[in-house]
């Protein structure tokens, strides 16, 4: 069995699976249940001045028969007194000394506020701090959360203030509601952050009820924007992790968050540079015991790949992530239909005719039946036919590499040197 232990910026954990700050980490009871189930760590629900939350506050996006393909919430930080949270953190850490407990923090952008809460939280024995600069609703209107997280100067300054008082590692949680997340990641690193985590939720409105015309969710007929998470945000989160992992001037470890539901998702984040992963929506949907399959699945995967430790997986795909201008323009891929698996639904033909390059056509086989084939000389390898095909194995995308590679950047350099 591979070694799943991690040392994330000085925070030791028996495995890389942590619960993200949110409803599942609201109380000591919940965090202890999670540790009993096998989670390696937990980021406590964000602490600060307690708020008054509203009801209702959650909504789910169901798509194609899958429930909670996306999830939206308008819940804010803890609504329980700081003293109660601190007592439960202390009790939980004493009962589970080998598990990582990280305190998520959010206060006004004032130096004395950060110093005060850091000292109070560290006194109860947390293993690390996570600065919540990501919440896009409610707290942002009060100058905190993403309102701070969208301004690199505020990220750097508040990180620096925290580091002035902190004795444990400081993780900065970044908002995705920004044009370039590397700008705030760099600011966090400049402020002295020991690590970064991403992504927090995406600003969103889940929907509108067509009968009542109320937003979803609504509070007494009124609604607001909220934070979007769940499986639907995974590609966005993965891209942002990759963007930061490829930057040499952001030399801090990354905790990956966003749509992680199983060990495969976790492995993808690790391949793209995340050293730990955090899960929230999936635990809310399926319960804490999903971590059992995550642990077993990742263990088996590492064994299959011949890797002795989960740390050996981290970043293996980072070098493969490039800017568009560095991709080979001469590389060609074509679609090929496997008649043994084709169910003759014609979806590939319709998609290609209406939305792609009109290179899939009908022909008559020797027994008189009609079938589909690809005119490979006209196929641009867009993948659309294989994406819409409902029959596994019916369409293969075949690589046809060129003898000579040529990227757009190389082409532009040649034009600049020798003329058009």
DSSP annotation string for 1-66: --B--EEETTEEESSSEEEPSSGGGSSHHHHHHHHHHT-SEEEEEEESS-----SS-EEEEEETTE
> Quick one: pLDDT at residue 142?
82
| Beta bridge partner(s), residue 279 | 19
Residues 222 and 286 occupy one common structural domain? yes
What pLDDT does 140 receive? 79
Q: What is the pLDDT of residue 94?
A: 98
b/e code 409-419 from CB counts within 10 Å (16+ = b):
eeeeeeeeeee
Q: Establish if 1 belongs to a structural domain.
A: no
Distance separating alpha carbons of residues 195 and 207, to the nearest angstrom: 35
Query: What does each of the 420 residues of the chain score in pLDDT, given as a tens digit?
Result: 899 999 999 999 999 999 999 999 999 999 999 999 999 999 999 999 889 899 999 999 999 999 999 999 999 899 999 999 999 999 999 999 999 999 999 999 999 999 999 999 999 999 999 999 988 877 877 888 888 999 999 999 999 999 999 999 999 999 999 999 999 999 999 999 999 999 999 999 999 999 999 999 999 999 999 999 999 999 999 999 999 999 999 999 999 999 999 999 999 999 999 999 999 999 999 999 999 999 999 999 999 999 999 999 999 999 999 999 999 999 999 999 999 999 999 999 999 999 999 999 999 988 888 999 999 999 999 999 999 999 999 999 999 988 899 999 999 999 999 876
Q: Mark whether 122 and 266 lie in a shared domain.
A: yes
Task: Supply angle C-alpha 138, 148, 129, rounded to 5.
Answer: 95
125: left (phi over 0), alpha (psi -120 to 50) or beta: left
CATH number reported for the structural domain that contains residue 232 in this entry: 3.20.20.70
Task: Give me the domain span that covers residue 341.
Answer: 324-418
Give the position of tokens 């939280």: 121
Residue 134 confidence (pLDDT): 86
Last residue of a domain, one of 320, 346, 364: 320
Distance CA 53, CA 83 (A): 18
Residues 264 and 381 in one domain: no
Residue 176 near residue 149 (C-beta atoms within 8 A):
no
Q: Active-site positions?
A: 135
- Whether 343 and 366 map to the same domain: the answer is yes
310 and 272, same structural domain? yes
**CATH number of the domain residue 413 falls in:** 3.30.70.20
Q: What's the pLDDT at 352?
A: 98
Is 300 in a helix, a strand, or coil? helix
List, in sequence order, the alpha helices (H) in 204-342: 234-245, 263-271, 281-286, 290-304
Asked if 228 and 336 sit in the same domain, the reply is: no
Look at residue 1 in the predicted model and tell me its pLDDT. Answer: 84
Residue 414 to residue 420: CA distance in whole angstroms: 8
Residue 71 placed within a domain: yes
Exposed e or buried b for every residue in 121-140, given b needs 16+ CB within 10 A? bbebbbbbbbbbbbbbbbbb
- pLDDT recorded at residue 420: 63
Same domain? 337 vs 206: no
342 and 212, same domain (yes or no) = no
The answer to whether residues 12 and 104 belong to one domain is: yes
Structure tokens at 240: 């942002």
Residue 213, classed as helix, strand or coil, is coil
- Domain tally for the chain? 2
CA dist 12 and 168 (Å) reads 12
Domain end, chosen from 320, 345, 378, is at 320
- For residue 165, give both structure tokens: 């008082």
What local confidence, expressed as pLDDT, does residue 139 receive? 81
Give buried/exposed letters for 341-362 (b at 16+ CB in 10 A, else e): ebeeeebbbebbeeebeebbee
| Boundary-marking domain end, from 283, 299, 320 | 320
Question: Is the same domain home to 332 and 309?
Answer: no
> 269: Cβ–Cβ under 8 A, 6 or more apart, which residues?
237, 238, 241, 256, 260, 277
DSSP 8-state assignment for residue 116: H
């Amino acid at each position: 069995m591979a070694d799943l232990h991690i040392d994330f910026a000085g925070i030791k954990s028996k495995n890389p699976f942590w619960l993200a700050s949110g409803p599942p980490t609201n109380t000591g009871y919940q965090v202890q249940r999670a540790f009993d189930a096998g989670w390696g760590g937990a980021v406590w629900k964000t602490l600060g001045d307690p708020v008054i939350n509203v009801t209702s506050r959650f909504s789910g996006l169901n798509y194609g028969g899958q429930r909670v393909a996306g999830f939206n919430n308008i819940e804010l930080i803890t609504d329980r007194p700081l003293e109660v949270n601190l007592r439960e953190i202390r009790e939980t850490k004493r009962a589970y000394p080998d598990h990582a407990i990280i305190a998520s923090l959010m206060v006004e952008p004032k130096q004395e506020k950060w110093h005060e809460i850091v000292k109070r939280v560290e006194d109860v024995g947390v293993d690390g701090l996570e600065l919540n600069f990501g919440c896009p609703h409610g707290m942002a209107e009060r100058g905190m959360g993403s309102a701070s997280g969208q301004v690199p100067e505020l990220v750097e300054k508040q990180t620096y203030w925290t580091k002035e008082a902190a004795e444990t590692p400081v993780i900065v949680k970044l908002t995705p509601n920004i044009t370039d997340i590397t700008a705030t990641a760099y600011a966090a690193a400049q402020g002295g952050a020991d690590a970064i985590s991403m992504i927090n939720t995406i600003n969103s409105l889940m929907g509108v009820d067509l009968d009542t015309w109320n937003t979803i969710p609504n509070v007494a007929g009124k609604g607001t924007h909220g934070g979007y998470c769940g499986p639907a945000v995974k590609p966005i989160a993965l891209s942002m992790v990759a963007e930061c992992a490829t930057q040499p001037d952001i030399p801090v470890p990354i905790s990956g968050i966003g749509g992680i539901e199983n060990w495969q998702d976790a492995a993808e984040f690790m391949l793209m540079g995340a050293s730990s992963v955090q899960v929230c929506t999936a635990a809310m949907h399926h319960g804490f015991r999903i971590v059992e399959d995550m642990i077993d699945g990742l263990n088996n995967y590492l064994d299959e790949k011949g890797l002795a430790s989960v740390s050996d997986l981290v970043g293996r795909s980072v070098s493969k992530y490039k800017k568009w201008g560095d991709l080979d323009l001469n590389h060609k891929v074509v679609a090929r239909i496997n008649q043994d698996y084709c169910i003759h639904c014609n979806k590939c033909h319709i998609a290609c005719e209406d939305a792609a390059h009109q290179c899939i056509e009908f022909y008559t086989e020797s027994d008189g039946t009609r079938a589909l084939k690809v005119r490979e000389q006209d196929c641009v390898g867009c993948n659309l036919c294989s994406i819409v095909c409902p029959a596994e194995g019916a369409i293969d995308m075949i690589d046809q590499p060129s003898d000579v590679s040529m990227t757009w950047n190389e082409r532009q350099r040649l034009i600049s040197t020798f003329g058009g």
